[in-house]
Amino acid sequence: MSDLLAGLGYITLGILAAAALVYLIITLNKVTKVLTKVDKILGENEVNINKTTSYLPKASQNIAEITENIKDVSEVITTTTAEAIDIKEDVQSYLTTVKEIVLIIKNVFFK
C-alpha cells in the first residue's frame, strides 16, 4: 500500500513538474516575443534616439540658463514692486499735504 501511495506521489509530482515546465516555456516564449519587439523598435528608432541623446546636454544647459534668468527677473520684479510701493506712499503723502493746504486756504479765504 505504501508503494502505491509513493508511486501516486511521484506521479503527482511529475505532473506538477510537467505543468510548471509548460508554464515556464510559455512564459519564456512571451518574454522572447516582447524582447524581439523592443529590439525592433530600438533598431527602427536608433537614429532618433542618438539625436535626442546628443541634444540632452545642450537642453539641460539651456534649462539651467532659463532658471537663472527667471531668478534674475524675479529679483528685478521684487525690486520694482518695492519701489512702486515706495512711490505710492510718497504720492499719498504729497496728496495728503496738498489736501491739507487746500483746506487751510479754503478755511482762510472762505470763512
2-43 tens-digit pLDDT: 788 888 888 999 999 999 999 999 999 999 999 999 999 999
Domain count, the chain: 1
Residue 37 lies in a domain: yes
Confidence of residue 101 (pLDDT cuts 50, 70, 90): confident
> Is position 75 within any domain?
no
> Quick check: is 40 in a domain?
yes
Q: Which stretch of DSSP H or E encloses residue 6?
A: helix 2-44
Residue at 83 is within a domain: no
| Length reported for the chain | 111
User: How sure is the predictor about 111, in pLDDT bands with cuts at 50, 70 and 90?
Assistant: low
State the average pLDDT for the chain: 90
Domain range for 24: 1-44
pTM: 0.47
The verdict on residue 79 lying in a domain is no
Please report whether residue 81 resides in a domain: no
Angle formed by the axes of helices 2-44 and 46-109, nearest 10°: 70
69: in domain: no
Query: What one-letter code names the amino acid at 84?
Result: A
Give domain status of residue 22, yes or no. yes
Task: Provide the 8-state DSSP code for 45.
Answer: T
pLDDT at 103 over 70: yes
Which of the four pLDDT bands, split at 50, 70 and 90, describes residue 89? Answer: confident
Q: Give the C-alpha separation, 99 to 91, whole Å.
A: 12
